[in-house]
Amino acid sequence: MSGEAPRDSSETARPGSTPGGSGPEGLLIAALFGDLSPHPWRDPAAASEDPHSLFEKRSRAMGWLSDLSTVSTGGTDPATDRATDTETGGVAPAGSWSMHEAGPELPGLGPDSPLAAWFQVGIGPVPADRPLPVQPFLCCADDVLSRFGALTLRAVQMLLPVHQLRSTPRRAMLPSLDSIGWFSECEPRARTEVRLTMDSGTRPSIPAIAPELLRSLRREEQTLFVCDSYSVTDHPALAERSPFSDHHWSGPPRHRATFHGTLAEWSLDAVGWLAAFLADATAREDLTAPVLLTIGKADLPPGYRGTSSVTPPARR
């Protein structure tokens, strides 16, 4: 059901449960902030699709969608080697998700909010050799929004289910680094200064591991984001609040670190890869709880307001 808040009923997939009420699953949620200029040829009154329906269709077409309610369970969870004790539901295959919600409006944000759209999916435990599928998730969102208009992206806020990842040994390569070569041919003029903030909510985890995260970002294998510095006291205004319900993680935002640097290109593709890398690096520090990630352009005006969100289809 598009346009509704992330679900908060007994059927909501929360960390540790599937939509059917059993089996391990976490929430991957993204709020995309920016100006979405509608296509002049699109007639909202005649439209039959909304962000939710198109995201589901695109996910299915690309092989990223898994209906957890139809996956058989029992035996051993291959990602964690823990015996599962579930009756219904299941674990999504690597690189896929179960569809939850999406919409042009997120309750709690004002009508003048620069939110273009938001998307929520469920993620099962991720195999040790795979990153959190944030990159395909955001690429799917990008494909969906391109059907509605041209997006001028300003910032992205995500809830990352880091607890669904296995901790990578200190000397082992992080799984996300396997695909870093995709960005080796970025146009030099596409480089963009950004600020990214990681927040562990009421848990003091992120400030404590910030020096290790900085070391991970500065490893030579990671070439997408050049990190200049970080701070545990100076943060962008957008990172001071969360568009997501606190019960989905250890909210509200409280303990955070902000990293300053240059991204090879400003795109949802690049943001998705970087988010997956940061999730890998965070899991290696044994943080086993969802993390709020905010990535925005460094020149983002503190009080800017976007122009529009996706116009939903007419009710029939």
Residue 305 domain flag? no
Q: What is the pLDDT of residue 246?
A: 92
Average pLDDT (154-183) is: 91
Q: Which residue has the higher pLDDT, 58 or 243?
A: 58
Residue 14 domain flag? no
Over pLDDT 90: what percentage of the chain? 56
Token readout for 10 is 């007994």
**Dihedrals phi, psi of 218, to nearest 5 degrees:** -95, 5
Residue 215 domain flag? yes
Out of 143-147, 238-242, 299-303, pick the least confident.
299-303
Residue 316 domain flag? no
DSSP string covering 114-154, please? -EEEEEEEEE-PPPTTS--THHHHHHHHHHHHHTTEEEEEE
Residue 126 domain flag? yes
Token readout for 259 is 């990293």
Judge whether residue 299 has pLDDT over 50: yes
Q: What is the pLDDT of residue 303?
A: 58
Residue 3 domain flag? no
Q: What is the pLDDT of residue 98?
A: 93
Residue 151 domain boundaries: 26-297
Structural domains counted in the chain: 1
If you average pLDDT over every residue of the chain, what do you get? 81
Give pLDDT tens digits for 16-65: 333 333 346 899 999 999 888 888 998 877 888 889 999 999 999 999 99
Out of 137-141, 150-154, 278-282, pick the least confident.
150-154
Residue 303 domain flag? no
Plot region of 265 (φ>0 → left; ψ -120 to 50 → alpha; else → beta): beta
Residue 68 domain flag? yes
